[in-house]
Structure 1
Amino acid sequence: MRHFILLLLFSCFSSFGQTKYFSHLAYGKSSQQVLDLYIPDGDLKNVPVVILLHGGAWTMGGLEYTSKHAQDICNKGFVVANVDYRYINDKISAKDLLADIGAAVSYVSDASGKYGYAKTGYHIVGISAGAHLALLYGYTEKSMKSITALCAPSRLDSTEILEFLKKNGLLSTIEKLAGAKFKANGSNPAFVAISPFKNISNMPTLLIHGDADPLVNVSQSQNLYTELKNKGVETKLIIREGKGHDVGMNSPDTEIQNINDITEWIKKHNN
């Protein structure tokens, strides 16, 4: 009986106040290729649609990491697809995760006729590893209206950065993400290919980063911001003083501030 009730909670429609909530909608065959869809009440014709990507070093986590943020963004009157994706391993790399995001976007687009929101012209938001994927997908697919990246790893092709990752036991993770071994004394095109810094396109980009982040140094966002400015891309950088890798998303006051900044950026670029 308990299992049946849990199954209902994860597979059926429910309502939270003014939000319609559809849980674990499958956009692919893998158990991780699912998304939660949050839809506000009212006329959805001109409502922003947000693709939200969780973090977890590309190897852990799921929709539960970003469910509160999805609800908070939806409460601002936005449609939100909280997207899960597969973990990297020896056979699954960044290109597969990007394919997952593309499939999720297609699913959301196909469902638009049923619910009444826009079929195209979405916004993508990510945190940590999800921010990396949001940047990379946004720059390479060029179908989003805006990108928001919180505490994003944005350059993964330099020896200095990879030595830091190696020191912290993350080099093998990045090699799986790239689908290649890093060559300390040679060219590394696979690592360039997974670095948003090297794949910039004209996509409005909001960057939010804590200056006390021990995992992804704030310089990653600062350098990307400078490069975006140099290339004439509309961008904004918000530094959260004293905040670590969660960018304050786990502190009520700062989370509200972040949600406000994210939603204001999206509204600005929704036309």
Structure 2
Amino acid sequence: MRYFILFLLFGSLSAFGQTQKISHFSYGKSPQQILDLYTPNKDLKNLPVVILLHGGAWSMGGLEYTSKHAQDICNQGFIVANVDYRYVTDKISAKDLLDDIDKAVSYVSNLSGKYGYAKNGYHIVGISAGAHLSLLYGFTKKNMKSITALCAPSRLDSPEALEFMKNNGHLDIIEKLSGAKIEAKGTNSALIKISPFNNISNIPTILIHGNADNLVNVSQSQNLYAELKRKGVEAKLIIREGKGHDVGMNTPDTEIQNIKDITDWIVQHNK
């Protein structure tokens, strides 16, 4: 059904000369190890390539969450790989999700010969849980030209993050993500290990966050931005006034501005 809907979307928009191509690929054996590749109908040789990751608390959602955003970015002259990944379980943790992303990136790179775009030097963009993974992957793999993170959980071991997860019944998800039991008191080294805040490397990073976000407090991005600047990493922080966890992506005018900010950042660092 997901692909049928995307097919209808593709067909209707192609008539207006917008989306040029949506190709579906499996980069692994799991049904969730799939990606949609969006390519403009033009010479792709020098176009930026974007790896896009959806949100969903590491435990729900899929490509449908970010299909419109993928198309909107593609319409600006970008190649976009809209990547799905497995959910966390007792046997699947953040390490496995990062492995999924790595396999997807390699798969996109291998497709470059067929489509004629760059083999490496990509950009990664994520929303919510996907933003967390984008930051963690970008900082630890160090193979991205830039990172864009919208409403990112960035310091999972912080007292406010732990309190929120406890109050909202999400501790089990975070425990699965970290692969360890969370202690009420202690350093929670497993959470530190999977927190972007504790894994910063010198990758240009833009953070976009709504100051009315009731799921991931805006302080997560504010504190990460301060740490990036302290460590001399090129960074930018955009606060969306009055916007919640969707960062305004469900409001036409704010969505347009978000897409512009994302694509401007990527163009700036596509060198």
Q: TM-score, normalised by structure 2?
A: 0.94
Q: CA deviation at 1:213?
A: 0.1
Counterpart residue number, 2:130: 130
Amino acid at match of 1:265: W
CA distance in 1, matches of 2:123, 2:177: 24
Q: Give the total of aligned pairs.
A: 267
Secondary structure at the residue paired with 2:20?
strand
Residue in 1 that maps onto 2:235: 235
- Whether 2:141 is the aligned partner of 1:106: answer no
1:269 maps to 269
Q: How does 1:211-250 map to 2 (within 5 A)?
A: 211-250=211-250
Separation in 1 of the partners of 2:124 and 2:50?
Answer: 6
Any stretches of 5+ residues in structure 1 without a counterpart? none
Taking the aligned partners of 1:24 and 1:155, their CA distance within structure 2 comes to 34
Alignment of structure 1 residues 49-88 onto 2, 5 Å: 49-88=49-88
Identity over the aligned pairs, expressed in percent?
75
For 2:108 and 2:223, locate their aligned partners in 1 and report how far apart those are by CA, in whole Å: 33
1:8 is displaced (CA, Å) by: 11
Structure 1 residue 19, shift from structure 2 partner = 3.6
Q: Structure 1 residue 163: deviation in Å?
A: 1.9
Distance, in Å, in 1 between the alignment partners of 2:5 and 2:247 is 33
**Which deviations, in whole Å up to 9, do the C-alpha atoms of 1:162-203 show, x marking residues without a partner?**
122101111111111000011223332211111000000000
Task: Report the AA paired with residue 152 of structure 1.
Answer: A
Runs of 4+ in 1 over 3 A off after TM superposition: 5-10, 12-15
Partners of 2:21 and 2:41 within 8 A in 1? no
- Residues in 1 aligned to 2:195 and 2:27: alpha-carbon distance in whole angstroms: 26
Cα 1:50/1:14, change in 2 over 3 Å = farther
Letter in 1 for 2:131: A
TM-score normalised per structure 1: 0.94
The separation in 2 between residues aligned to 1:13 and 1:34, in whole angstroms, is 21
Please tell me the root mean square deviation across aligned C-alpha atoms, in Å.
Answer: 2.0
CA contact (8 A) 1:14 1:22 kept: no
